[in-house]
Structure 1
Amino acid sequence: MMTAALQSFLKQLLKEETIVQYTALGGGSINYTYRITTSKENFFCKINKYSSFPGMFEAERAGLELLASKQVIRIPRVIAAGRINDNQVLLLEWIEQGLRTDAFWTSFGEQLAALHHIQQKQFGLNTDNYMGALPQNNQPAENWVDFFIQKRLQPQLKLAVDHHLLEPTHVSRFEKLYQQLPAVFPVEPASLLHGDLWSGNFLCDVQEKPVLIDPAVYYGHRSVDMAMTTLFGGFDGLFYDSYQYHFPLPANYREQWEICNLYPLLVHLNLFGKSYLADILDTIRRY
């Protein structure tokens, strides 16, 4: 994947840096990832096909820069984003990793609470981005329930039905769920979200501080981020205790989390198939 043309392009992006080595890293399902070692420092590089994911890295760049501008939690510095032929490239600061101590988890809960305290009236964002490999529509709405139904659940449901992963009867159950959402989600301002906060999308730096990576940023209900922390194993208990201290959760937070997780579960259903269907059906049957 690291062709001569790409190497030349990366040298242009890095300007005066002399590249010494390209080290392939284990990546996600859609990107090639590398550590680029120069004469001065290391960088993290992601590459994928523009035709498959148009505008993905420009959207990720915008999300990282928005999060970084709030100065409440560490975000990798964006070095450059660019495109050569059908390859798009994102270059980031390299983060050396440390130990996830008790202090790390406590700081993480406190700093995520601080991020969620950055609020606005409208839900959404002025630009669209991606959730994993799927486009994410962030067209703003005035309330969370409408935004969640129209911009999160319904597009994924349509995609799943079109690909025969869900039946029309399943969609009917979702429609019954919609009627109950105003009672589940009382009015609350939109919080700035990471948007895809599972255990693979944060790091611990050498100062034992959290670092957010791979965001799907928008302003939404803070239960979206908190719910996703539980989806694939959960975070340390100190994280939740710290968050609760700095931004207390509502009494029905577990119900909110369960419903919010329908969105990433539907995304996974559409990307990876029916192994995620049982969890979706378990939730909607309760409503």
Structure 2
Amino acid sequence: MPSPQLLPVLSPICGWQLQPSHFTSMAGGSINEVYKVSHQGHPSFIVKLNSATKFPQLFAQEAKGLAALRSYTKTPEVIAQGEMEGLQYLVLEWIAEDQPTPTFWKNFGAALAALHSVEGTAFGSFENNYMGSVPQDNGDAPTWTAFFAQRRLMPLAVKCADNGLLGKSETNQIEKLCNQLPQIFSPAAPTLLHGDLWSGNYLCGAGGVPVLIDPAVHFGHPSVDLGLTALFGGFDAQFYQAYHYHKPLPPNYKDEWDVCNLYPLLIHLLLFGSGYLGAIRQTLQRFAGIQHRIV
């Protein structure tokens, strides 16, 4: 249960006098405590808690990411966000999950294509935030390949190497791959991204409406989101068909996805260890040193 000191803080937010019995523990990933707060006759909420010192501004940035997406797609409403006694909290609208309708995946693909039609002025172009528990630098860059190399792949490769998780050979291959990025990626404007779009970060809301949660928002290449959807099993084929109908994929899109997925694989290597090294090596063997894949 959350700290008793938080109950007087959360009670006016939720609109009733909270008791420990109103909290039901939910799955919250590797860093958060997550609770459903419910009481008969009142709306339900989600309360997320974690350390304000270990992950500073994590929930403040999550709230900003949800707000950035909300103009274009469904996200939970942010009820409140703040800090108290070393804890940070985020209170969100409770989303009642529904069974996907026959059109759910088509709607989801179309919604993501619409989100990816929102363009920014530079790559990055968002406050620094987190992907999972790993801070990410969203400083502006003029090109996607410069942003991906300088703000994503190389800093994370160095961090993994410093922790003994990557050898010199893999680090050199990543640097070599960074030099090849202009030959891999099709031209794209800075696109508004969810940033962490794996299968655990969407819900099917009432009436089969796709709902996005837990974003790592920035302006980047569409293949960042699309690659992540395919990294751990993939979404339904109708999702990709609908996306392609609204926003056609380039001929070498699978190559783009695989290269983009080096970033989440490096994050998993940093957080969870060497079980992800094989997949990283496989991608590097395929792409480091390639010439002119775009057709």
Q: In the aligned structure 2, how far is the partner of 1:26 from the partner of 1:126? A: 28
Q: Which residue of 2 aligns with 1:161?
A: 161
Unaligned stretches of 5+ in structure 2?
288-295
Q: Which residue of 2 aligns with 1:61?
A: 63
Q: In the aligned structure 2, how far is the partner of 1:115 from the partner of 1:245? A: 14
Q: Does 1:128 align with 2:128?
A: yes
Q: Does 1:19 align with 2:21?
A: no
- Listed one character per residue, the Cα deviations across residues 20-44 of structure 1 (whole Å, up to 9, x for unaligned) are 6111112211001101114420001
Q: In the aligned structure 1, how far is the partner of 2:189 from the partner of 2:121? A: 5
TM-score with structure 2 setting the length = 0.94
Structure 1: which amino acid aligns with 2:32?
Answer: N
Q: Does 1:48 align with 2:50?
A: yes
Q: Which runs of 4+ in 1 moved over 6 A?
A: none
Check the 8 A contact 1:102/1:238 in 2, yes or no: no
Q: In the aligned structure 1, how far is the partner of 2:223 from the partner of 2:130? A: 19
- SS at 1:46's partner residue? strand
Check the 8 A contact 2:154/2:175 in 1, yes or no: no
Q: Which residue of 2 aligns with 1:33?
A: 34
What CA RMSD, in Å, does the superposition of the two structures yield over aligned residues?
1.2
Q: In the aligned structure 1, how far is the partner of 2:150 from the partner of 2:68? A: 24
Q: Which residue of 2 aligns with 1:100?
A: 100
The percentage of aligned residue pairs carrying the same residue is 45
Tell me the CA shift for residue 186 of structure 1: 3.0
Structure 2: which amino acid aligns with 1:17?
Answer: W
Residues 74-85 of structure 1 aligned to structure 2 (within 5 Å):
74-85=74-85
Tell me the CA shift for residue 283 of structure 1: 0.4
TM-score with structure 1 setting the length = 0.96
Q: In the aligned structure 1, how far is the partner of 2:57 from the partner of 2:273? A: 25
Q: In the aligned structure 2, how far is the partner of 1:160 from the partner of 1:242? A: 37
- SS at 1:230's partner residue? helix
Length, aligned pairs only: 284
Q: In the aligned structure 2, how far is the partner of 1:76 from the partner of 1:135? A: 23
Q: Does 1:273 align with 2:256?
A: no
Residues 128-147 of structure 1 aligned to structure 2 (within 5 Å):
128-147=128-147
Residues 129-208 of structure 1 aligned to structure 2 (within 5 Å):
129-208=129-208
Unaligned stretches of 5+ in structure 1?
none
